[in-house]
Amino acid sequence: MKASVPIREMTYLFIIIALSVINALSAQISYVELIVTNCIFILVTWLLESERWLKHVSCKLILYDKTQLIVPEKREELTADLCHRTGLNIQKIEIGHVDFLRDAALIKVYYESEVREINSVDTVTRFLGK
């Protein structure tokens, strides 16, 4: 199993590296300017992480059994069926692999999540089994 580092932690790492480089190369900058620059970085990071301005959108992969609804003309029906069956407030749908022999489609569903959780099962790209 391959270990992966979430994007959020990588972003924090790059912010810390950027602040370190700015602080290390600031020989002719006053302490006030340096503190203001550091505070701007921290404030922007805090604002982007708060849920007041940006809503957290999660996604799930769903193996869907009604392939007759995946056509573009029935997109609203598909969304309503998925909302009813999953109980999620679905914002966007992407249709991936379609298997007409098994009457199934792999659908990626984007929804607004109440909880900011990182679900490791969401990184699975295909279903195991048969």
**CA 15 – CA 45 distance, rounded (Å):** 9
Whether residue 78 sits in one domain with residue 117: yes
Whether residue 99 sits in one domain with residue 74: yes
- Which of helix, strand or coil describes residue 42? helix
pLDDT for the residue numbered 109? 92
The tokens describing 31, both together, are: 């302490």
Kindly indicate the confidence band of residue 125, based on its pLDDT and cuts at 50, 70 and 90.
low
- pTM, full prediction: 0.59
Can you give the residue range of the structural domain that contains 18? 7-49
Higher per-residue confidence, 8 vs 98: 98
- Note the residue count of the chain: 130
Asked if the structure places residue 85 within a domain, the reply is yes
- For residue 79, give the amino acid letter: T
- Which of helix, strand or coil describes residue 54? coil
30-78 pLDDT per residue, tens: 889 899 999 999 998 888 877 676 677 788 889 999 989 999 999 999 9
Asked if the structure places residue 130 within a domain, the reply is no
What is the number of domains present in the chain?
2
Task: Collect all residues with Cβ–Cβ distance below 8 Å to 62 and sequence separation of at least 6.
Answer: 82, 86, 106, 107, 108, 109
